[in-house]
Amino acid sequence: MGVKSIAHSTNQIIDADLISAYVIDSRMGRNYGEMRIWKNAMDLAVEIYHLVAKFPKSEQYGLAAQMRRAVVSISSNIAEGCAGTNLQFKSHLRIALGSAYELHSQVLLCAEVGITSAESTEELDSDLLSLIKMMHSYHNRVE
């Protein structure tokens, strides 16, 4: 089941320009399935899971496991934050950002030690940095 099938049927995507209106009434909660940052985080998780499946057996319980935990933490914290107040949402976005930076460091390490190719590292680097920028934007706009 893909990210698009998990999202609700409204097909509405909330982006950074609309986040202020989206979080005004935190008593009703937020629908993380409609949030672009959550969808991008889920897409990134799929990419990471496919990437680490190709890692050498010696790394399956080391770096691969650490990368899976970090990438799962990103979308999970966005989703968990949606159930709370604006302050809680902002706090969970900070945790998700920390996990994204952790994952970014691990992706760079994979390239440095020769586990991944330069091409796959560049693509992941670009996707991660885009997600990080988007999360910063959301974090700065939530009051």
- Tell me if 36 sits within 8 A of 13, measured CB to CB: yes
- Closest C-alpha among 15, 106, 13 to residue 67: 106
What's the whole-number mean pLDDT along residues 37-48?
96
In the predicted model, what is the mean pLDDT of the chain? Answer: 83
pTM of the model: 0.78
- Closest C-alpha among 111, 117, 73, 92 to residue 26: 92
Residue 143 has what pLDDT?
A: 78
CB count in 10 Å sphere of residue 107: 25
Residue 63 has what pLDDT?
A: 95
Q: pLDDT by residue (tens digit) across 87-120? A: 999 999 999 999 999 999 999 999 999 999 888 8
Q: What domains appear along the chain, each with residue ranges and CATH number?
A: 3-141 (1.20.1440.60)
Angle between helix axes 118-141 and 86-112 (nearest 10 degrees) is 160
- The number of residues making up the chain comes to 143
Main-chain phi, psi angles of 94, to 5 degrees: -65, -40
